[in-house]
A and B are shown apart, each in its own frame.
Chain A
């Protein structure tokens, strides 16, 4: 079972470290990361495996969204099903 974490906002030191650390603490395995910084705007897409997640998925959503707010970036955590539904036939 996979999910997608996206981080969009102003670039600042340690965003990737912070999100990865939070994932590791709850058993979320990172499968792939792509990131880019364009004109100071940071966009990271993280593809993660949540089958070993030790907390309910909704708690992971809440904690990462909260982390994003503290760092001044927007973090979305969404189940991969929504992307598969909308973009594949």
Chain B
């Protein structure tokens, strides 16, 4: 018999504290769709996605209704498209983006990830053409997300790719300037990208993954904040324990959803990504958890320490709740998608330099940050290089998702609406790293890579 207190606690979490399962993401391998005739390849891609994921949305909705827990997104991740583009080098890969968009619309998912290339050690056939085509692909599609892995602890940092991505991010924003530069919001530059991440915009189905797989991303910053608020003035060890216990419960809900989805869709279960993923909704903010720990506002001195504790405790609580944990797993700190971060950025309590420090201890990186529209490509590349260095040296995933706000300057705002949120344009250090970026080459892998 279930305890009434537990029942009411769960219902309160769902009704008042925004407990939800953020996403069921089906990973689909497109390796068997490779064809030197791009039209044939596109046909196979469309058929395979519709065949495998045709019931994904309905299954997600059924599970949500039966268990009584909201499942916000149903999404698809696919093999990095550069691998398909390699077989048809004379054609523009944008065709693949369009067919992915069409398939996503057909099956009713809101995003499909995998317009991606993995170039941490260099460009293979297909990679360069795909990267060049990203701005056009993101401007002429709605649901396609793109990512490029430019570094890893094992390989070092591909500085030619870093230089290229600064320009690609700018161009993606320019081509969608009439839509608040949304193209750049669907593009992530990674170091140490995970192959099984269910969260957008960085999801792709890595080459080491099975034919298809179900990955689930949990969420629940509101639940963690509420639990800390109830506890009052306890010491920081107790704070860590409360986060762990809450993360355990959240992850168990995610694990249950993952098992059910896997069973009903006859697709193997991959991982649960135990991340605290904020949304712009009130009561769904990671920044507010940090403030509940005792900071006047997110960005104050002490923020990095609070975030380190949070990130670690989430993993410790979640890891026992799931048989397979993966993806990004930790606390996300996107600016425009988090009500507390937006406020902190507006009041200038939170700056880009503080965010960079925070990315050394959070689960991803500089995420959803609007920067002035006149920021040169090489400055964006400099930011990418710094962020990749943090990831490379600390053997963690780091990422950059910056939105150059074309035609606007610091202090003004961008508004994407919906989940991507809105936020102020943040100041960037205007000094130029142009000479460093133009050198090209590869930053050698650090000592940390020599573990064998």
Contacts and interface: CB of A to CB of B under 8 A. Distances in A.
Interface of A: 4, 6, 8, 32, 34, 43, 45, 47, 57-58, 61, 74, 76-87, 89
B10 A83 contact: yes
Given A6-B11, A47-B1, A81-B256, A86 B67 contact: no
User: What is the predominant secondary structure among interface residues of chain B facing chain A?
Assistant: helix
A78 B4 CA distance: 14
B15 A74 contact: yes
A89 B15 CA distance: 24
17 contacts: A4-B2, A6-B8, A32-B1, A34-B4, A47-B1, A57-B66, A61-B65, A61-B66, A61-B68, A76-B68, A79-B68, A82-B10, A84-B2, A85-B253, A86-B6, A86-B252, A87-B2
B69 interface: yes
Interface of B: 1-4, 6-11, 15, 62, 65-69, 249, 252-253, 255-256, 320
Contact of A83 (B7, B62, B66): B7
Nearest to B66: A79
A1 to B, nearest CB: 11
A44 to B, nearest CB: 10
Contact of A78 (B1, B62, B68, B255): B68
Contacts of A83: 2, 6-7, 10
A79 B62 CA distance: 12
A30 to B, nearest CB: 13
Nearest to A62: B65
B253 A86 contact: yes
Contacts of B253: 82, 85-86
A78 B70 CA distance: 12
Contacts of A79: 66-68
B10 to A, nearest CB: 6
Contacts, number: 64
B85 to A, nearest CB: 42
A47 B7 CA distance: 11
Contacts of A80: 2
Contacts of B2: 4, 47, 80, 83-84, 87
Nearest to B4: A45
Nearest to B255: A85
A58 B66 contact: yes
Contacts of B7: 4, 6, 45, 83
Contact of B11 (A8, A32, A89): A8
A10 B63 CA distance: 29
Nearest to A83: B2
A6 B68 CA distance: 11
Contacts of B252: 85-86
B7, B10, B15, B320 pick with most chain A CB within 10 angstroms: B7
B308 to A, nearest CB: 26
A76 B11 contact: yes
Contact of B249 (A34, A74, A81, A87): A87
A76 B3 CA distance: 16
Given A6-B8, A74-B15, A82 B68 contact: yes
B248 to A, nearest CB: 8
Contacts of B1: 32, 47
Nearest to A81: B256
A78 B8 CA distance: 12
Contacts of B320: 89
